[in-house]
Structure 1
Amino acid sequence: MPGHFEPLPGGGAAVALDDIEISIIRSLATQLLELIGPGPAEDAPDDPLAALFAEGPSEPPADPVLKRLFPDAYCDPEETPALSQEAEERRAYSAEFRRYTENDLRAAKRENALAVIHSLNQLAPAGEGGAVLELSVEESKRWLGALNDLRLAIGSRLEITDEDDTDSIYRLPDEDPRKPMVMAYLWLGGLQETLVSTLMP
């Protein structure tokens, strides 16, 4: 199973990872956590009902990666701002939707990244500098969410927006400084694809 996930009997998935791969995934998940930001502040209300209705931001993030992770619900991020009433209404709907959903979305992405780090920290060495990671179905879903977020983040940094961009990164010369990021993007894509296949009935 080197380099890709395989299904486990009874559900779940397994993948063999060497020490370098474990270190890369852990580092990327940690960076994702730092990018998404901390959880609720210590002075947040203890009342779960109040926390449920706590409002989040209404404006999209300035960072292009966060914009990709938390896109507007009703606006095309690539669309040039228009002055039409319809465009204004879409922006208003997007702001309202963001205000009531982004906090929960950020929390879910944090939990997924933390689940990846936690499962890697629990790995027992399997010899020769590697280990076999075994995930339950629920853990597989969290990993899938985190892998997707990591690829979105890397893809945003590489300015990948469509298939043509993906084709061009395959042809980067080895001396290009983006090459390691491209290799990580492609490798994570392989992990993501094979993990999806283990979750299919």
Structure 2
Amino acid sequence: MPGTFEPLPGGGAAVALDDVEISIIRSLAVQLLELIGPGPAEDASGDPFAELFAEGPSEPPADPVVRRLFPDAYRDPEGTADPKAAEEQKAHSAEFRRYTENDLRAGKRDNALAVIRSLDALSTAGDGGAVLKLSPDQSRQWLGALNDLRLAIGSRLEITDEDDTDLLYRLPDEDPRKPMVMAYLWLGGLQETLVSTLLP
């Protein structure tokens, strides 16, 4: 089981992690929280009805990594030559973002916090490792957080398609991106094996 998730009887998943792996995942999850941003302000009204209709931002984030986590809902990947159509897409995206981004941020924040809390609850064994056991709900939260971490790292590495990923395997060891690439690929392996535990 080292380094890969395996299904648990009755649902959920387990993975053996050493101290270094625990530290890396936790550190990345904390950085993800910083990217996502803080939750509701402490001086919020506390009125759930008001919060339901609270509006979020209408402009896409300036940071390309955060923009990758919260992309425009209406966008032609090929780009549109028609300026009017482009403006309409921008307006629709702004409207969609205004009413959805706060909830999306809250969900991503909850997932990252679930990762941190589950790692903090681990008791390491004498060999410096531990077995992380997740319930089905925790597995889904981990899956969301792993996906977000890979999106963030992939954005920093400027990965846009499979060809870019193939190039990563051929990076020389002295390339400064190598540690980030190793984390990206390792998280991908964790994500893939976790997905397999959730399949019927």
TM-score normalised by L of structure 1: 0.97
Q: Which runs of 4+ in 1 moved over 3 A?
A: 76-80
Aligned with 2:159: secondary structure?
Answer: coil
Look up the match of 2:157. 158
Structure 1 residue 12 corresponds to structure 2 residue 23: no
The C-alpha deviation readout for 1:66-91, integer Å capped at 9, x for no partner, is: 110000000146737x5522221111
Look up the match of 1:72. 72
Where does 1:44-63 land on structure 2 (aligned, <5 Å)?
A: 44-63=44-63
1:45: Cα distance to partner?
1.7
Aligned with 2:38: secondary structure?
Answer: coil
Look up the match of 2:133. 134
Once residues 78 and 84 of structure 1 are traced to their aligned partners in structure 2, the CA distance between those partners, rounded to angstroms, is: 14
Aligned with 1:28: secondary structure?
Answer: helix
Where does 1:159-174 land on structure 2 (aligned, <5 Å)?
A: 159-174=158-173
**What is the alpha-carbon root mean square deviation over aligned residues?**
1.2
1:126: Cα distance to partner?
2.5
State the identity as a percent: 82
Look up the match of 1:26. 26
| Equivalent residue pairs, number | 200
Once residues 22 and 58 of structure 2 are traced to their aligned partners in structure 1, the CA distance between those partners, rounded to angstroms, is: 37
Once residues 67 and 76 of structure 1 are traced to their aligned partners in structure 2, the CA distance between those partners, rounded to angstroms, is: 16
The C-alpha deviation readout for 1:74-124, integer Å capped at 9, x for no partner, is: 0146737x5522221111110000000000000000000000000000001
The C-alpha deviation readout for 1:106-155, integer Å capped at 9, x for no partner, is: 00000000000000000011330000000000000000000000000000
Once residues 55 and 78 of structure 1 are traced to their aligned partners in structure 2, the CA distance between those partners, rounded to angstroms, is: 30
The answer to whether the 8 A contact 1:12-1:135 is kept is yes
The C-alpha deviation readout for 1:15-59, integer Å capped at 9, x for no partner, is: 000000000000000000011110011122210010011000001
TM-score normalised by L of structure 2: 0.97
Aligned with 2:3: secondary structure?
Answer: coil
Matched to 2:109, the amino acid is: R
Aligned with 1:103: secondary structure?
Answer: helix
Matched to 1:41, the amino acid is: A
Could you list the runs of 5+ residues in structure 2 that have no partner in the other structure? none
